[in-house]
Chains A and B, each alone.
Chain A
Amino acid sequence: MSIFVDETTPIVLQGATGSEGSFWAKHMIELGSNVVSAVTPGKEGQELHGVPVYHSVRRAQAVNEAEAAMLFVPPRFARDAVFEALDAGIRRVVTIADGIPLQDQVQIRAAARAAGAQVVGGNTSGVISPGKSMLGMFPYWIERVYRPGTVGIMTRSGSLTNEVTAWVVAAGFGVSTLVGVGGDLVPGSRFAEFLPAYEADDDSEAVVIVGELGGSMEEEVAELVARGEFTKPVVAFLGGRTAPSGTRMGHAGAIATGSSGTVAAKVAALEKAGALVADRPRRVGELLRSVAA
């Protein structure tokens, strides 16, 4: 995996001994992720799919030093678990928890910034490089979505990403690394913060942004493209073009008020910067063909 982590990056799992966590931990390992330890308070000495379990991240680090942490902990414990990972010196963290309290998210992002770390999520499936490794929960065996290839994908959604990515694959492409930043109002990491990695990544020829109404993450991408700091082709699809103002559409982050956060403003910013914007998922594949081989 060339973005965020690769197949050699040692990974610690937090809260993965429950049934859901255990299920996805197994798939992470089967795909090739380098899981070196697991942490569940009170379960030290056990094993999870052959991986030793420790009481705390610090105790795990003392034996097998991990560089990335994958959190399966519930929303109300997410802040504590992220802080624990950061405190143990880990600088790349994915938290999939759906429903992290907003002000906890603010502190998570603030702590990550202070530590020079990157925290992905919550409310995401995580990060995957199909065919290589993943930090998260992706059914990579579904070929028409998770085909390995050369298109980087960044997204705020789950199901919509499948819809869009299926069109990317149908157009003859595959996925290099997919980063789900999540649907929350304050995601731990933002789209633009991954662009330098995609720029440097030889496996990625173009990047697809799956965005939606609300917030300013798409505008931040446009800014980097306009400044010439990201030079690969960008194709975006944004949900919520026709959403009424002031109405929250599902995700906590998906709300436009007045003229801020509207898809129209995002499309204008992206197009002005030279990115291509699809008005429906099907068009993403067509637009990619016009800019990438």
Chain B
Amino acid sequence: MKLLEYQGKAVFAEAGITVPASRLVTVEPGGTKQALRERTAEAARELSAEGADGADGAEGAEGNRHGVVVKAQVTTGGRGKAGLIKTAGSPEEAGEAAEAILSRDATVRALLVEEMVSIERELYLSISVDAPSARFLILASASGGVEIETLALEAPETVKRVEVDPFFGLQAYQSRGLAFDLGLSGDTAKQFAKVVGALYEVFRSRDAELAEINPLFVTSSGRLVAGDSKLIIDDNSLDRQKEFEVTREQFGTETEYAAALEGIPYVQFEGDISLMCAGAGLTTTVYDLVQFEGGTVANYLEFGGPNYRKARRAMELCLENQSKVILIVTFGTIARADVMAEGIVEAIAELKPDRPIVTCIRGTNEESATQTLRDAGIEPLLDTEEAVRTAVAIAKGERQ
């Protein structure tokens, strides 16, 4: 689960990492532009009032009392380039910034209005896992503010690594050493080591897949402030991470949100063919084959594994798309073909889909699956590539 910036920052702040003072402005569905402008301006006004009397000192990172940053709360990267982060010198400008952001992306559900921090320099810090070594991996750089992939390519010598043994845990000398390796000294080095410790605590206690602060600001008065947060909670740990809930604002579309609640792996695309397949690897391969054949994908959806009895719900999700055809490909062994075929036939009977369905269902008890589909008037295919070509031809209007 990818947390939004403000959610991640709340976790950081709780762990003792300084974040800029902020207000969250939610975007009411169906609300007027005027109302959004006013509420954003009000948030900015509140922040500068706080800055003026020095309130909220725990969070306050010596904000410029007039300036704010308005940031779209979306989980996609590259917000700056996409025009989803804007600075504003006054509350009125903040209101205009909010409107401009929404005109760029109407799906934005929340805006974070933050005090502007006076920045001396920007660092990079992240914790993730290193699969081959089975260690937790801390990466840091004195050249923050750009994506780590870019940094690793363009200035690999600036990226410092520390590997943490998952049983011994992070040691103080490791955080300290990392600070010195970045060329930090004095109080800044001490603060940095503390931030590393706090972020490690967040990473471990929240079962994170990634905990990243980029940029990590060093302010003009020498304080370290998290300029952004990227906190991805491991989906397999959500059972024991009760504080995090799947919420609508984490998703671009209603369908993605509905699928997540259902536990059905689903990715939204904008093409013609809805994939309703079983098995992650096979679905990914069918996605490739559709592209090879000149088709486009409307959605990736998996109803295999524990979801193999959920054909009806899976088909319902596909039907929410503007796709032209639903392509069902499975090769299940534990997830039995006959059970899937029965589920599909029932789903078709109940949902009466308004678009053609191409099936290619193989695996355990496939003879019975084929018969079930035939009895329901579907001509089942048994070759993946043939099924893909058929779906692409239907999507292009070359056949029914």
Q: Does B60 contact A (CB under 8 A)?
A: no
A290 CB contacts on chain B under 8 angstroms: none
B306 CB contacts on chain A under 8 angstroms: 98
Q: How far is the CA of A137 from the CA of B336 in the complex (A)?
A: 13
Looking at chain B, what size class is its interface with the partner chain? Answer: 35 or more
Instruction: Name the distance in Å between B199's Cβ and chain A's nearest Cβ.
Output: 15
- Which residues of A231-279 are within 8 A (CB) of B? 239-243, 246-254, 257-260, 279
Q: Does A185 contact B (CB under 8 A)?
A: yes
Looking at A47-55, A86-94, A153-161, the stretch in contact with chain B turns out to be A153-161
Q: How far is the CA of A281 from the CA of B147 in the complex (A)?
A: 35
Looking at A4-12, A31-39, A103-111, A196-204, the stretch in contact with chain B turns out to be A103-111
B334 and A137 form a contact (CB under 8 A): yes
- Which residues of B249-283 are within 8 A (CB) of A? 265, 267, 277-283
B131 CB contacts on chain A under 8 angstroms: 109, 185-187, 190, 215-216, 253
Q: Does B362 contact A (CB under 8 A)?
A: yes
Q: Does A80 contact B (CB under 8 A)?
A: no
- Which residues of B128-157 are within 8 A (CB) of A? 129, 131-132, 134-136, 147, 149-150, 153
Q: Does A59 contact B (CB under 8 A)?
A: no
Q: Does B235 contact A (CB under 8 A)?
A: yes
Q: Beta-carbon contacts of A208-232 to B below 8 Å, as 1s and 0s? A: 0010110110001000000000000
Q: Does A148 contact B (CB under 8 A)?
A: no
Q: Does B289 contact A (CB under 8 A)?
A: yes
Max chain A C-beta neighbours (<10 A), residue from B135, B362, B364: B362
Q: Does B192 contact A (CB under 8 A)?
A: no
Q: Does B240 contact A (CB under 8 A)?
A: yes
Chain B residue nearest to A110 (CB atoms) is B134
Q: How far is the CA of A5 from the CA of B379 in the complex (A)?
A: 43
A213 and B284 form a contact (CB under 8 A): yes
Q: Does A162 contact B (CB under 8 A)?
A: yes
B285 and A243 form a contact (CB under 8 A): no
B135 and A110 form a contact (CB under 8 A): yes
A14 CB contacts on chain B under 8 angstroms: none
Q: Does A99 contact B (CB under 8 A)?
A: yes
Q: Does B332 contact A (CB under 8 A)?
A: yes
Q: Does B385 contact A (CB under 8 A)?
A: yes
Looking at chain A, what size class is its interface with the partner chain? Answer: 35 or more
Given contacts A76-B240, A160-B281, A186-B129, whether A247 and B333 have CB atoms under 8 Å apart is no
Q: How far is the CA of A186 from the CA of B385 in the complex (A)?
A: 31
The dominant DSSP class at the A interface is loop
B280 CB contacts on chain A under 8 angstroms: 157, 160, 183, 249-251, 254
Looking at B46-54, B297-305, B348-356, the stretch in contact with chain A turns out to be B297-305
B204 and A103 form a contact (CB under 8 A): yes
Q: How far is the CA of A242 from the CA of B274 in the complex (A)?
A: 16
- Which residues of A113-129 are within 8 A (CB) of B? 113, 125
Q: How far is the CA of A253 from the CA of B135 in the complex (A)?
A: 16
Q: How far is the CA of A239 from the CA of B172 in the complex (A)?
A: 42
B281 and A252 form a contact (CB under 8 A): no
Q: Does A100 contact B (CB under 8 A)?
A: yes
Instruction: Name the distance in Å between B272's Cβ and chain A's nearest Cβ.
Output: 15
Q: Does A289 contact B (CB under 8 A)?
A: no
Q: Does A43 contact B (CB under 8 A)?
A: no
Given contacts A142-B333, A185-B129, whether A163 and B285 have CB atoms under 8 Å apart is yes
B147 CB contacts on chain A under 8 angstroms: 258
Q: Does A101 contact B (CB under 8 A)?
A: yes
Q: How far is the CA of A248 from the CA of B279 in the complex (A)?
A: 14
Q: How far is the CA of A257 from the CA of B131 in the complex (A)?
A: 16
Instruction: Name the distance in Å between B302's Cβ and chain A's nearest Cβ.
Output: 6
B191 CB contacts on chain A under 8 angstroms: none
A158 CB contacts on chain B under 8 angstroms: 279, 281, 304-305, 333-334
Given contacts A157-B282, A249-B284, A252-B235, whether A106 and B134 have CB atoms under 8 Å apart is yes
B305 CB contacts on chain A under 8 angstroms: 98, 158
Given contacts A160-B282, A163-B331, A250-B284, whether A101 and B240 have CB atoms under 8 Å apart is yes
Q: Does B7 contact A (CB under 8 A)?
A: no
Interface residue from A138, A159, A220 paired with B330 (Cβ < 8 Å): A159
A240 and B284 form a contact (CB under 8 A): yes
A281 and B77 form a contact (CB under 8 A): no
B166 and A103 form a contact (CB under 8 A): yes
Shortest beta-carbon contacts, A-B, top 9: A250-B280, A159-B279, A157-B281, A258-B149, A160-B281, A109-B134, A159-B282, A110-B134, A102-B234
Please name 16 pairs of A and B residues whose Cβ atoms are closer than 8 Å in the assembled complex, sorted by A. Answer: A101-B234, A106-B135, A106-B136, A110-B167, A137-B333, A158-B279, A158-B305, A159-B278, A162-B282, A183-B281, A185-B129, A186-B129, A212-B281, A250-B265, A251-B281, A252-B236
- Measured CB to CB, the residues of A under 8 A from B are 75-76, 98-103, 106-107, 109-111, 113, 125, 137-139, 142, 145, 155-163, 166, 183, 185-187, 190, 210, 212-213, 215-216, 220, 239-243, 246-254, 257-260, 279-282
Q: Given contacts A142-B364, A156-B281, A157-B280, could you give 6 more A-B pairs where the C-beta distance is less than 8 Å?
A: A110-B166, A137-B333, A160-B331, A212-B281, A250-B279, A254-B281
